[in-house]
Structure 1
């Protein structure tokens, strides 16, 4: 067992982990942060995306022990301080960028990473950036619309599908 300490959503946390414990497992089972979803265990679906030291990663591919001292943000950390939905989360709600909700945490985290790098992406840039996230329900149109809306762009001319 290895002791690991990190900052998760602005709070210092620590725990004992086996060397093989994935970050997704540590977050969900060790810290009770179940918003990070695990859909495939093979790094294909993107439901487990979190931010580590400001970079979006798939938490099913990172060992918790390797992230000692890291700063981690999960979907739970995307809300405003008062608990209301953050900008990207609100845009997903407003523009129906979710259906079953399973992929939504990873989509929101990936979208937030894109907007941090590129505050005004084009539709093509949004689609390209989200290629690592699979949604089996929405057809992506409203997800893309939500990301563009979160960037402050006018989405009124984008037709509904």
Structure 2
């Protein structure tokens, strides 16, 4: 039997994206996303970013899909993670926050307003990742120094603004949230 004959035997007919999976290759689990219980059924090797997008939560962006750009940042049990590097099954039983929070948390509301006021948006591709990274920072370190804010924000990439407007926006939101004079 030739290679072509072998392929024809095993690959005849239309293929769907997941048709190569055996039924037991799909994981099923529950988690809480933006304060709502969610049941997920996804391939065992599906990333959290892909699973979120399949649930209609398309604010979680896929940029580099290597963990470098930060566009896919979400909060898992309150901590910022790269959802493109996290398997969906790793979120089983966890609480997840995405940029689609409705109503937005106090931090996310202040950040959204500050991003608008300080021109920290251009193409918008990186925005959801920066917002979620900043929410995690402002919760964990509400009195972070400007240097610390800059350090944390350097984990994400923005190709449009150069980062300065984003830093200004996060510092303005921090000032609003803490009532400080930064």
State if a TM-score over 0.5 links the two structures.
Answer: yes
The answer for the alignment partner of 1:56 in structure 2 is 80
Question: In structure 1, the residue corresponding to 2:101 is in which secondary structure?
Answer: helix
Instruction: Compute the displacement of 1:103 (Å).
Output: 0.3
| Aligned residue among 5, 8, 13 for 2:38 | 13
Structure 1 runs not aligned, ≥5 long = 156-161
Instruction: Compute the displacement of 1:43 (Å).
Output: 0.4
Check whether the contact 1:4–1:64 (CA below 8 A) recurs between aligned residues. no
The answer for the alignment partner of 1:102 in structure 2 is 125
The answer for the alignment partner of 2:140 in structure 1 is 117
Instruction: Compute the displacement of 1:120 (Å).
Output: 2.5
User: What count of residue pairs does the alignment treat as equivalent?
Assistant: 151
**How far, CA to CA, are the matches of 1:120 and 1:48 in structure 2?**
25
Question: In structure 2, the residue corresponding to 1:24 is in which secondary structure?
Answer: helix
Moved more, 124-133 or 40-49: 124-133
Q: TM-score, normalised by structure 1?
A: 0.88
The answer for the alignment partner of 1:126 in structure 2 is 149
In the alignment, is residue 40 of structure 1 matched against residue 67 of structure 2? no
Q: Deviations over 1:24-57 (max 9, x none)?
A: 000002x100000010010000000000011100
In the alignment, is residue 150 of structure 1 matched against residue 173 of structure 2? yes
The 1:78–1:109 alpha-carbon spacing in structure 2 relative to 1, beyond 3 Å, is farther
Larger Cα-atom Rg: 2
The answer for the alignment partner of 2:97 in structure 1 is 73
Check whether the contact 1:120–1:148 (CA below 8 A) recurs between aligned residues. no
The 1:89–1:134 alpha-carbon spacing in structure 2 relative to 1, beyond 3 Å, is same
Structure 2 runs not aligned, ≥5 long = 1-25
Check whether the contact 1:48–1:60 (CA below 8 A) recurs between aligned residues. yes
In the alignment, is residue 27 of structure 1 matched against residue 27 of structure 2? no
Instruction: Compute the displacement of 1:69 (Å).
Output: 0.7
Question: In structure 1, the residue corresponding to 2:162 is in which secondary structure?
Answer: coil
The answer for the alignment partner of 1:159 in structure 2 is none
CA-atom RMSD, angstroms? 1.5
